[in-house]
Structures are given as structure tokens and as C-alpha cells.
Amino acid sequence: MRAGDGGGRHRLAVRRLAVRRRLAPAPGGRRGLGGRNRVTLLSILKGRWRRVALGGVLNLGAAIAGISAVALFNHALAAPSVHLWMTAGAGLALIAALFGLGLASQSLIIGAGHDIVRDLRLNLVERLMATDVETIDRIGGPRILATLTKDVAAISQAFNSLPFVMFGGSVLVSGYGYLVWLSPVYALALALVTGLVVVVARALGGRAKRHKRLARMADDRIHEAFDALIRGRNELRLSRARRLAFLRDGLRPAAAEARKQEATADLFGVLTANLVNSAVLLTILAVLILKQGLGIGTVEQATAATTMVLFIRAPLAGLIGSLPHWIAGNIAVQTVGSLALAEAGEDIAPPRPAADWSRLELRGLSYHYPPRGEDAGFAFGPVDLTVERGEIVFIIGGNGSGKSTFARLVAGLYPPQAGAIRFADRAITADQTAWYRQHVAVILSDFHLFAEALTAEGLPPTLAVANPLLRLLALDGKVALREGAWSTTALSQGQRKRLALISAILEDKSILILDEWAADQDPEFRRIFYTEIIPLLKKQGKTIIAITHDDHYFSLADSLYKMENGGLIACENRRKAPKVESPLLS
């Protein structure tokens, strides 16, 4: 029965929710990304610092070999008395070192990058599986899919560009070293031009980042449209007006926005790349002015500096060309962080103890959906309910009265914002929910049918167990168990629900929650369900909480409750139970 002052407790629940929101960590705070514990591509790299550091050292070796080769050739050209064959031998050795060390370092760094992306993919999936259903529902499928595809691809691309970034950096550093040795004044000229390029590139990079972020937001809208495209395929096929509206109001504006923002961001990237090309020539011009105008340095030094700057150009362009990938990768990392998923590694199932419980109690259970615009959000509860072990409870109620919300709360899928579940004489606190869920099977209206059949132990069931269930649910001849998986899940909605019920029974949990399970069954099978299957499950000791509209069978329930505007009211079950005479029960 609904507890006393529902309005007062409800207000309390809403206040608690508001406080919880204020205290909630900023996106990415405790759970990883953004905020103070900002995770960037570089901080991810730190996790593999040994390999990356070794790659960096080899890279620097390759760069030094390259610069040394250029210096050697410069020197040989300026001093014809040098022994040609010795110079050629040393030059070949340096080229071989450039090639070998470059290859070794790049394969190390590329390997580390791919490992990171593989781990990131698995980690994301593990985190999604560890995250509350409530959070997943709030984020929504399209945003999650966008992260699993777009963000992971962006991070992957950023790490793929890492060898270019590192080689560019190494060549730049060793090039400076050579120029400082050759002529500190020329090195200063290069440093000034590089400094200018860095300042301008940073400013352009900041602008590019802003536009990349806006483009990423448009990507979420595009994925929402993709989701509607697949889910609404029937409606779209049947209505030209809907197709036109879908393109006009949904996909086209989002695609146009993404195109605009991406193009602007890329423009800044191209600007930066061109700036580098011009800066290289600018440095050579500076060397020319220093030599011819101010008489600083010799012709050999000026020529060597020019050759060096030209040698640096290509790796530097590679480095600058990687900047857009690096920016997009960092935005992707931050987007993943903003989802505030739970940390992975908490999915260690506590062993399911012997099911020695006698009572399931709900005490003041309350939940409030977040307000959206004008809608204050639906308030469920506070609800009190006691269910004895083996009891059959029917819940009735109008559309939108809160029945499915009730099912999600009792199943432990949504955390109550006030009140608690008591089960097996203990209050189910947040850290006990995983244990509690091991006792509950639920079939909701948006259930998913996995092809793999699993028993309570997580093993494939034997045919001796599966076949009688297929017969009981009248699926024999339609579905078979083959190598631990159902031969097909391409079934009618009613048949899919029957197979989902078999899967739930195989899990052998003591509480079974069914959300309008019988609604898709034909009248004959509905009769079988209420008069044979439910009594059979009760005989096996299952507790059944069924949401139903089948008033013809209400009398089969041990207790009947009505959900009304988020509250639960006990109903008198006056009807005489139809006699159950099932051969299954004998």
C-alpha cells in the first residue's frame, strides 16, 4: 500500500535528487576524463611510457643519423679534398641507420598506438557493462554508438599519427643542435621563425579545436538520425512526408552543421600546414639576409644551413599535418569522459548464495525522472510492498502509471532515490545491488534476445533441460538448441517473448518479473501461460511479479495491486480462481 504522506516524501525525494546532482562529480571527475583529472591523449600514452620512450630514443637516433648524413654531405661538398669513398661509406651507414632506426621506432610506436586503441575499445565496453542502466538510458543509444565508432576512430587516427609527430619533433631538435654547432646566429634565426610559427599554429589550433568540438556535437545528432533511420524504417518507407521531414529537419541540418564545422576546422589545419611551408622559406631568406646583408657566416655555413632547413621541412610538415588528428583525438577522449561511465573491473559477480530468503520488501521506494523543459518529470512512489517467497503478484494500472518504472526499480536496474529494498533480511544498499540482481530475472517490453543460451552457472544448458522448456512454451519444431545457442531468434514477437521466458527460466533465479509478457500471446497460449506455466513456476518455488491487463486471470494471483500515478494500491482479489488442472503440475 502507498505510504501515508506521499506528497511530503515525494518532495523529499526530489530535494535529495537535487542535492545529489549538485554533489555529482563534473563529467569526467572521479570517473576519469575531463575536470581536474583531465585525461588527454598524452596521459593515455603514459600508460605505455616504456615502449613509447624506447620508440622516442630510437626516433631521436634516426633523426640524428639523418641530420648527420646531411651535415656530412654538406661538409664533403664544401671541402673537395675529403676522401670520397670514406664519405660515401659513412653516408651509406648513416642512411642505413636513419632507415633502420626509423623503422624500428615507428613500428614500436605504431604497435603501442594500436594496443591502446584495442584496450580502449574493450575498456569502453567493460565500462558500459559496469554502468547503471539508468545512466545508459539517460545517455541514449545514439550517443553511445557515436562514441564506440566515431570517438574510437578519432583516437585511433591520433595514435596512428604519433610516429610523424615524434619523428618531426626529433628532426627539429637535432636540426637545431646542428645549426647551433654550425652557426648560433643562424640557429637563432630558425628559432625565431619556429617560435613565430608555434604561436600562430597554437592560435589556429585553438580555433580548429572549437570547430572540431562543434562538429563532434553535430555527429551526435547525425547518429540520432541514423538510429531513427533504422528503427523507423517501416514508418519512413510508408510515408513520403515523413521521409522528407526526416531529411529536412533531422539529417540534413545535422550533416550541414558537421560539414561546416569540419571544413572550417580543416581550413585552419591547411592554413597551419601552409604556414610551415612559408616559414621554411622565410628561414632561408633570413639566412640569406644574414649572410649577404650583414656578412654573418661563410658561404659554406649558409649553404649547409639552407640544406638543413630544407631537410627539416618534410618531417616538420608531417608533425604539423598530424595536429588536426591530435586535436580530434583529444576531443574524442574528452567526449568519452563526458559520458561519465562507471569504471571497468567492478563486474566480479558475488557467488550466488543458496536462495534462503523468505520475504522481499519495498519500503518507501521512490524515483523521479529528471525534468525536461516544461515537464517536471514523472514521480514514482513512495511505494511500500511486501512479497512473500513463492507468491504470485499481479500489478495492474493504466498507461504511464509507473508499472515499468516499478519493474526496473524492483529488478535493481534503476537505483531508488529514496526508500530501499529489503531482501533476505538485509537492506539492499548500492554495494549489494549486484548481489541482489543475481536473484532477479526480468523481461521488460524492450528486452533483447541473446542467441546464446546460458544456465545459472553460465554454461550452455543440456538438451534434457532445454527441450522440455521448448515444448512447454510451444517452440519445439521452431527453435532448437545447437551447440549452446538457439538455432534462430528470427521469430514473431510473441515467439521471441516465449524464448526470452525460456532464457529467464534457464537462469534459475528465484524472482521473475514480467512486464506485460502475455500481451503479445494469442488467447490460447495466454490461457496456458496463466493456468499452466505460472502455477508450474510457483510450484518450483519462483516468486512472480507480473504486470498484466488480463483481468480474466486476476484471480490466479495471490495478491493484486494497482499502480496509479506512481503509487501502489492493494486491490481485493474477489474473483474465484479458475481451477487449474494441468498435467504439468501432477
Ligand X SMILES: Nc1ncnc2c1ncn2[C@@H]1O[C@H](COP(=O)(O)OP(=O)(O)OP(=O)(O)O)[C@@H](O)[C@H]1O
Which residues form the interface with ligand X (CB under 6 A)?
137, 369, 378, 397, 399-405
What does each C-alpha distance from 327 to 157, 265, 387 come to in angstroms? 11, 10, 55
C-alpha cell at 505: 527460466
What is the DSSP annotation of 103-164? HHHHHHHHHHHHHHHHHHHHHHHHHHHHS-HHHHHHH-HHHHHHIIIIIHHHHHHHHHTHHH
Q: C-beta of 194: minimal distance to ligand X in Å? A: 54
Q: C-beta of 378: minimal distance to ligand X in Å? A: 3
> Please, what is the angle between helix 162-182 and helix 152-160, to 10°?
30
Q: C-beta of 413: minimal distance to ligand X in Å? A: 12
Q: C-beta of 240: minimal distance to ligand X in Å? A: 30
Q: Which is nearer to ligand X, 226 or 369 (CB)?
A: 369
C-alpha cell at 233: 524504417
Residue in 76, 130, 87 with CA at minimum distance from that of residue 349: 130
Q: C-beta of 325: minimal distance to ligand X in Å? A: 36
Q: Which is nearer to ligand X, 211 or 403 (CB)?
A: 403
Q: Which is nearer to ligand X, 325 or 403 (CB)?
A: 403
- φ, ψ for residue 188 (rounded to 5)? -65, -40
Pairing of strands 359-368, 379-388: antiparallel
d(CA 224, CA 41): 27
Q: C-beta of 136: minimal distance to ligand X in Å? A: 11
Residues sharing a CB contact under 8 Å with residue 350, sequence separation 6 or more, in sequence order: 434, 435, 438
Q: Which is nearer to ligand X, 374 or 431 (CB)?
A: 374
Q: C-beta of 444: minimal distance to ligand X in Å? A: 9
Fill in the amino acid letter for 480: A
Q: Which is nearer to ligand X, 404 or 455 (CB)?
A: 404
Q: Which is nearer to ligand X, 374 or 483 (CB)?
A: 374
d(CA 174, CA 68): 9
Q: Which is nearer to ligand X, 132 or 137 (CB)?
A: 137
- φ, ψ for residue 105 (rounded to 5)? -65, -40
Find out whether 509 and 439 touch, Cβ atoms under 8 Å.
yes
Q: C-beta of 315: minimal distance to ligand X in Å? A: 52
Q: Which is nearer to ligand X, 283 or 401 (CB)?
A: 401
d(CA 239, CA 244): 9
